[in-house]
C-alpha cells in the first residue's frame, strides 16, 4: 500500500528523532512492500524563523492532505520571550485543533530491561505496569477563554476551563472502546470535589460507560491519581481525563517508566488520519549532540501504522525490534547504566534497524 506522511520536524532534537523514525518506516516499507512518501512542513520555532508564524497555512493544508502526520517536538529558549500568540507551542495546539484531533493516546509501560531505571523502588514496579492515558486534546483550559483584566486586587490574568457534554462523550467513547480491548477497567480522573466541569465529566463518563459491555469505570481525583501513580502504578489500565490533567499525569507516568525518551503518543479525531509524536519535548540542550533517544518517535511511527494504517503486524515488528535492542543492552544516554556503552541517536536507530 501507499501512504503519504507529513513530517513536522520542529525544533531542538525534533529533526534527529524524526529522521530516525523515517529510517525505520522506510525499512518496514521495504520489508512488507509498502511505500511511504514523506513531505516536510514547518512548525514551531522553525516556522517562526522562516515565516513569522508558528503554524503556516501551508503546514495545515499539507497535514490535512496527508494520510497521517509525524511530529518531532517544538519550542526552545530562543522563542520563549515571544508574545503568546506566536509562540512555538501555539503551532502544536493549532495543528491539533485544525486536524480535529480530540483524542490523545499516551501509553506508558515499563520494559523489564529498564526496570532498574525507574525512580520507583524495585518492589513497587516488580509487577510491571502497562497503562494507557486517554487525554482529551482540543478542549478544556488549554483552549478556553483567557486574558488579562482589572480584578479585585488590581491587574490579573485568567484562563477558563469549559467542557461540553459532546466533548466529554466522544473522549469517553474512545476510552471505553480501548478498555474493551484491554482489561475493561477505566479510571476516570477529575477534580469533582471542586470543579463544576469535573462534575459534568463524571456524569457523562458514567452514562457513556453503560453502553459498553464488560467495562467498569471508577472515578479518581487527580491529586490522588498523582499519588497512586508513584505508589502503585500496576493498579492502572486505562485512564481517561481532561486536557490539562492528562498533560500533567502523562509526564508523571512517563517518568516512572525510567525515561521520558521512550514514550510515544497518538492524536486522533474521527477519521483515520492522526498525528504521532513523542511525548517529550524538544530538549534544546541536546540538539545536535547526538545524545537523544529516538525510541519514543520510532514507537510513534509504530502507533501510526497500527492506528491510522491498520498495519498491526508491521507495528508489532517495530515494537519487537525496540524491545530486542533493549534486551540486548543497547542504550542511549538517558537509559544507560554504568555497564553500558552509550549509543548516539544514530547508533540506536541503526541497532533497531538491524533487528527489523
Ligand atoms: C504535550 C506538551 C504540549 C501540551 C505543549 C508543548 C503545548 O506539553 O504534548 O504534552 O501541553 O499538550
Ligand atoms: Mg506535556
| Ligand found nearest the CA of 137 | 1
Per-residue pLDDT, averaged over 219-246, amounts to 97
* pLDDT (tens digit per residue) in 265-287: 999 999 999 999 999 999 999 99
Whether the predicted pLDDT of 125 surpasses 90 = no
Yes or no: say if 104 and 267 are a contact pair by the CB < 8 Å rule.
yes
The single residue of 49, 61, 80, 223 carrying the catalytic annotation is 223
| Least confident range of 21-25, 248-252, 257-261 | 257-261
C-alpha to C-alpha distances, 27 to 112, 224, 291, nearest whole angstrom: 26, 44, 23
CA distance 4 to 232: 41
**pLDDT reading at 106 higher than 90:** yes
What's residue 342's pLDDT? 96
Among all bound ligands, the one having the nearest atom to the CA of 141 is 1
Taking residues 106-133, what's their average pLDDT? 91
- 142 in active site: yes
Residue with cell string 525490534: 321
- Ligand 2 centroid distance, CA of 94 (Å): 15
Summarize pLDDT for 145-171 with one digit per residue, the tens: 999 999 999 999 999 999 999 999 999
> Which of the residues 41, 102, 111, 142 is marked catalytic?
142
Nearest-CA residue for ligand 1 atom 6 is 89
**pLDDT above 90: residue 172:** yes
- Of all protein residues, whose CA lies closest to atom 7 belonging to ligand 1? 89
pLDDT-based confidence at residue 34 (cuts at 50, 70, 90)? very high
User: For position 84, what pLDDT does the model report?
Assistant: 85
Residue 71: its pLDDT value, please?
Answer: 98
Residue nearest to atom 10 of ligand 1 (CA): 247
Q: What is the pLDDT of residue 98?
A: 97
Q: What angle do CA 343, 347, 352 make, to 5 degrees?
A: 110
Task: Please indicate whether residue 223 is annotated as part of the active site.
Answer: yes
Tell me the average pLDDT across 44-51. 97
Confidence of residue 32 (pLDDT cuts 50, 70, 90): very high
DSSP H/E element including 68: strand 68-73
Residue nearest to atom 9 of ligand 1 (CA): 279
Catalytic residue among 191, 212, 276, 286: 191
Mean local confidence (pLDDT), 338-356: 97
- Residue 92 pLDDT class (50, 70, 90 cuts): very high
Closest ligand 1 atom to Cα of 250 = 10
pLDDT value of residue 128: 87
Q: What mean pLDDT do residues 200-208 have?
A: 98
DSSP characters for 135-162? Answer: EE-SSGGGTS-EEEEEETTEEEEEE---
* pLDDT for the residue numbered 126: 86
Distance between Cα 160 and ligand 1 center (Å): 17
Three cell numbers, residue 277 = 509524536
Nearest ligand to the C-alpha atom of residue 91 = 1
Kindly report the number of other CB atoms within 10 A of residue 216's CB atom: 12
Q: How far is the CA of 154 from the centre of ligand 2 (A)?
A: 31
Cα(10) to ligand 2 centroid in Å equals: 16
Q: Is 251 a catalytic residue?
A: yes
pLDDT band at 112 (very low <50, low <70, confident <90, very high): confident
Q: Which residues does ligand 1 sit against, CB inside 6 Å?
A: 89, 92-93, 247, 279
Amino acid at each position: 500500500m501507499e501512504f503519504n506522511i507529513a513530517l513536522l520536524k520542529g525544533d531542538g532534537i525534533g529533526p534527529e528523532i524524526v529522521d530516525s523514525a523515517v529510517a525505520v518506516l522506510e525499512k518496514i516499507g521495504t520489508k512488507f512492500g509498502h511505500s511511504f512518501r514523506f513531505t516536510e512542513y514547518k512548525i514551531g520555532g522553525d516556522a517562526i524563523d522562516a515565516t513569522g508564524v508558528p503554524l503556516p497555512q501551508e503546514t495545515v493544508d499539507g497535514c490535512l492532505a496527508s494520510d497521517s502526520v509525524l511530529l518531532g517536538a517544538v519550542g526552545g529558549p530562543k522563542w520563549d520571550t515571544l508574545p503568546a500568540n506566536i509562540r512555538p507551542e501555539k503551532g502544536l495546539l493549532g495543528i491539533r485543533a485544525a486536524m480535529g484531533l480530540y483524542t490523545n493516546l499516551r501509553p506508558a509501560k515499563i520494559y523489564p530491561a529498564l526496570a532498574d531505571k525507574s525512580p520507583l523502588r524495585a518492589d513497587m514496579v516488580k509487577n510491571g505496569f502497562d497503562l494507557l492515558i486517554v487525554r482529551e486534546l482540543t478542549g478544556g483550559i488549554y483552549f478556553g477563554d483567557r486574558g488579562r483584566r482589572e480584578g479585585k486586587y488590581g491587574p490579573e490574568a485568567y484562563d477558563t476551563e469549559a467542557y461540553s457534554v459532546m466533548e466529554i462523550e466522544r473522549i469517553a467513547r474512545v476510552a471505553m472502546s480501548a478498555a474493551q480491548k484491554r482489561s475493561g477497567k477505566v479510571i476516570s480522573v477529575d477534580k469533582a470535589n471542586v470543579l463544576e466541569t469535573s462534575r459534568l465529566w463524571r456524569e457523562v463518563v458514567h452514562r457513556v460507560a453503560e453502553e459498553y459491555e464488560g467495562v467498569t469505570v471508577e472515578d479518581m481525583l487527580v491529586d490522588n491519581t498523582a499519588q497512586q501513580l508513584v505508589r502503585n502504578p500496576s493498579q492502572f489500565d486505562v485512564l481517561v481525563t481532561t486536557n490539562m490533567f492528562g498533560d500533567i499525569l502523562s509526564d508523571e507516568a512517563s517518568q516512572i517508566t525510567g525515561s521520558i525518551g521512550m514514550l510515544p503518543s497518538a492524536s486522533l479525531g474521527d477519521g483515520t488520519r492522526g498525528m504521532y509524536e513523542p511525548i517529550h519535548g524538544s530538549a534544546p540542550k541536546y540538539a545536535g549532540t547526538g545524545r537523544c533517544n529516538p525510541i519514543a518517535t520510532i514507537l510513534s511511527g509504530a502507533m501510526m501504522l497500527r492506528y491510522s494504517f491498520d498495519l498491526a503486524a508491521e507495528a508489532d515488528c517495530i515494537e519487537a525490534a525496540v524491545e530486542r535492542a533493549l534486551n540486548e543492552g543497547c542504550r542511549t544516554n538517558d537509559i544507560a547504566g554504568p555497564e553500558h556503552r552509550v549509543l548516539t541517536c544514530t547508533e540506536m536507530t541503526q541497532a533497531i534497524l538491524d533487528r527489523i
